[in-house]
Amino acid sequence: MSRVIALGLACGLAALFVLSLGLWGRYGATIAWDTFLAYCL
C-alpha cells in the first residue's frame, strides 16, 4: 500500500512538472514581471 501511495505522489509531482512547463510556455509572457519580481519571493 505504501509503495502505491509513494508511486502516486511521485507521479503526481512529475505530472505537475510537465503541466508547469506547458503553462510557463502558455502564460509566461503574460506575467507582469515587475510586480511578480518585487512581491513574489
Partner 1 sequence: MSPQLWVIILCGATAMTLSLGIRASFGLFLGPMSVDLAMSREAFAIALAAQNLLWGIVAPFAGAIADKYGPIRVCIVGGVVYAAGLLLAATGASVGVVQLGLAAVGIALGIAGFSVVLGAVGRAAPPEHRSLALGIASAGGSFGQFAIVPVSQAFVTSYGWSTALMLLAAISFMLVPLAYGLGERKIVPGMNQTIGQAVREASGHSGFWFLTAGFFVCGFQVTFVAVHLPAFIADKGLPAWLGAASLSLIGLFNIAGTLIAGWLGGRYRKKYVLSLLYLLRSLAFVLFLIAPVSETSVLVFGAALGFLWLGTVPLTSGLVAQIFGPAYMSMLYGGVFLSHQVGSFLGAWLGGRVYDATGSYDAIWWAAVVLGIVAAILHAPIADRTLVRAPAPA
Tell me which residues touch partner 1 (CB under 8 A): 2-3, 5-6, 9-10, 12-13, 16-17, 19-20, 23-24, 26-28, 30-41
Q: Which residue has the cell 503541466?
A: 19
CA 1 to chain centre: 27
Beta carbon of residue 1, minimum distance to partner 1 (angstroms, whole number): 8
Beta carbon of residue 6, minimum distance to partner 1 (angstroms, whole number): 4
C-alpha count within 13 angstroms, C-beta hemisphere, residue 26: 6
Beta carbon of residue 12, minimum distance to partner 1 (angstroms, whole number): 7
